[in-house]
Amino acid sequence: MASPNLVTVTAQNFAETVTRSPVPVLLDFWAEWCGPCRMIAPLLDELAVEYAGKAVIGKVNVDQEQGLAVEYGISGIPALLVFKGGAVVGQMVGLRPKSELKKALDAAIAR
């Protein structure tokens, strides 16, 4: 079950959710048919709860939001981008351990 702290990001709410966010944003570019995307989903749910108030955890469905995927050069999924102040400050592709995701978030928070 997805965490209520996990945000679905679309082209319509991207600026509000990501660009103008006062806290870092970890954005997961994913698709329903992607096995590794399904495997990383529970970790993102946990991070959304653990980082509530300190960071935003969001998901972009690349099948529904192809424009965002193209804009950010997404060629493989899951692709995880960390934003701070509206700019990409970190990027990971593929299934990653929770510790690596936390390290990227902690680095963005400390910036």
In order, the DSSP letters of 10-44 are -TTTHIIIIIT-SS-EEEEEE-TT-HHHHHHHHHH
Extract the tokens encoding 64. Answer: 């529904």
pLDDT at 86 over 50: yes
Q: Does pTM top 0.75 for this prediction?
A: yes
> CA 75, 76, 81: angle at the middle one, nearest 5?
90
Indicate the domain borders of the chain.
6-110
| Res 5: pLDDT | 76
Place of tokens 């899951």: 78
| Res 4: pLDDT | 65
* CATH number of the domain located at residue range(s) 6-110 in this protein: 3.40.30.10
Question: Residues near 31 by Cβ (< 8 Å), separated by ≥ 6?
Answer: 37, 61, 62, 63, 77
Element (H, E) at 54: none
pLDDT at 1 over 50: no
Condensed to tens digits (0 to 9), the pLDDT of residues 13-60 reads: 999 999 999 999 999 999 999 999 999 999 999 999 999 999 999 999
Tell me, rounded to whole angstroms, the distance of Cα 87 from its chain centroid. Answer: 13
Condensed to tens digits (0 to 9), the pLDDT of residues 51-77 reads: 999 999 999 999 999 999 999 999 999
Q: Residues with catalytic annotation?
A: 34, 37
